[in-house]
């Protein structure tokens, strides 16, 4: 199943990449949109927050990974850290982020391409969730599981994209989390 672009029920409250923070282990945050994807022994819930994104990975009845990249989460307190270029927890979790700032015309082209890609026009992508905010067609968030995640193996991979029209920034993240039983580093 391919995704389509949703229009979220709230106006875009612009932020900037420097406001983003990474936190592992937060409980589920209020989501504007979500999509559950079932795999072999796991379920990943892709969630778009008003402040950015959250990915919850369950094995059995237990959330084993919770990744939140967001701005202004009052419940997170001082536990949030600035968005790193890379964050690893041993061999169990690998997070990478990249921020690019584009000129207005290039930014528009990049966002339009991103939306086409996540609207299902590209059949080679994995399951995902993509949404725009009303009032600013260039404010968007997209999440996508790696297209090979359904195969047997110890890893789940996902990527996200966040666009910030007022600054012309595109934030891309990629994550890989272990699905092996018995390990608890960085898990909820």
The CA distance from 9 to 4, in Å, is 16
What is the reported pLDDT for 105?
A: 98
Most confident of 64-73, 83-92, 104-113, 148-157: 104-113
More confident residue, 151 or 54: 54
Report the percentage of the chain scoring pLDDT > 70: 80
Going by C-alpha positions, the residue among 69, 22, 63, 68 that lies closest to residue 44 is 63
Provide the whole-model pTM. 0.86
φ, ψ dihedrals at 13, nearest 5°: -105, 95
What is the reported pLDDT for 123?
A: 53
What is the reported pLDDT for 66?
A: 95
Domain extents for the chain? Answer: 5-178
Report the percentage of the chain scoring pLDDT > 90: 52
Going by C-alpha positions, the residue among 107, 96, 8, 21 that lies closest to residue 48 is 8
Please determine, for residue 3, whether its predicted confidence score (pLDDT) is greater than 60: no
Give the up-direction half-sphere exposure of residue 138: CA atoms within 13 A in the CB hemisphere: 18
What is the reported pLDDT for 176?
A: 93
Q: State the pLDDT confidence band at 187, using cuts at 50, 70 and 90.
A: low
């Amino acid at each position: 199943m391919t995704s389509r672009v949703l229009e979220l029920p709230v106006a875009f409250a612009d932020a900037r990449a420097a406001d983003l923070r990474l936190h592992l282990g937060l409980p589920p945050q209020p989501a504007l949109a979500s999509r559950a994807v079932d795999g072999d022994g796991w379920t990943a819930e892709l969630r778009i927050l008003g402040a950015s994104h959250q990915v919850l990975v369950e094995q059995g009845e237990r959330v084993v990974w919770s990744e939140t990249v967001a701005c202004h989460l009052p419940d997170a307190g001082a536990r949030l850290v600035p968005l790193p270029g890379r964050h690893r927890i041993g061999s169990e979790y690998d997070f990478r982020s990249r921020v690019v700032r584009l000129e207005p015309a290039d930014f528009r082209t990049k966002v339009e391409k991103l939306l086409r890609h996540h609207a299902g026009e590209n059949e080679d992508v994995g399951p995902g969730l993509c949404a725009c905010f009303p009032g600013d067609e260039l404010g968007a968030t997209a999440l996508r599981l790696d297209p090979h995640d359904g195969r047997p193996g110890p890893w789940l991979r996902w990527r996200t994209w966040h666009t910030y029209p007022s600054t012309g920034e595109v934030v891309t993240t990629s994550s890989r989390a272990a699905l092996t039983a018995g390990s608890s580093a960085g898990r909820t």
